[in-house]
Every structure is written in structure tokens, then in C-alpha cells.
Amino acid sequence: MHELSVTESILNTVLESAATHSVSRILKIHLEVGELNGLEAEWIQYYFDVLSKDTMAAGAQIEVHRKPSEFTCHDCGEVFPLDLKSVSKVTCPTCDGKNCSLTGGSEFYIRDMEAV
């Protein structure tokens, strides 16, 4: 379980960003999380509530947006999203090549935040 350290870095990032944009309160944070990343939305929110107490992000809502896994075709260079649960084998949509590998799906980042 790495939600605690992840949440700490999210909080630090939004507080830094808030400081440079002179906002007074952070209301909502949109997180983009790859589907292969095991981050649990409710744990992030739980840790965030604890960690953000006494900061301008206190009470902010975390919204997690799941992002499909991403593959790269080594034959033509195409990068394409793929829902691993719905297919049995990976084929490039552009050249039909099978020389593809997983290149994304476990990352996470802050897509946006709402503040006043």
C-alpha cells in the first residue's frame, strides 16, 4: 500500500501550485490514474483528509479518473490505448503488427484542480 506517500506528494504538488497561482482554497483535485496502478480512490481521499488538515486544501475532494493501459508498436511507432480486460492479444491498430509492448498504465498525475 503506497497511498500514503502518493497522497503526500499530491498534497505537496497542489499546495505549491496554489502558492504560485495565489488561490485561497483548493476545492477539487482531478487525478489521472493508469488502470494498472493499484491506487484506491477511497484511501487517497482518506489520507488526503488527514494530511490536508490545516492547509488550504482541507476538505478538497479527490476525483480519480482511470486511464486505460497504453501500448507502443515497435514496428510503426504507434502509441495506442487498450483495455487489457477486453482483448486476449495485443495487435497494433495501425499496421496490424504484434510487436507491441506495454508502455503506460501504471503512472498517475494531477490533471487539474479547482480552486478559488
- Closer residue to Zn ion, CB minimum distance, 58 or 79: 79
- Closer residue to Zn ion, CB minimum distance, 64 or 92: 92
Q: Which residue carries 476525483 as its cell?
A: 63
Binding region for Zn ion (CB under 5 A): 73, 75-76, 78, 92, 94-95, 97
- Closer residue to Zn ion, CB minimum distance, 3 or 70: 70
State the nearest-atom distance from the C-beta of 1 to Zn ion, in Å: 37
Closest-CA residue to 62 (of 30, 18, 24): 30
State the nearest-atom distance from the C-beta of 102 to Zn ion, in Å: 15
Residues 109 and 99: their CA atoms lie apart, in Å, by 28
Measured between alpha carbons, how far is residue 83 from residues 20, 45, 70 in Å? 37, 26, 9
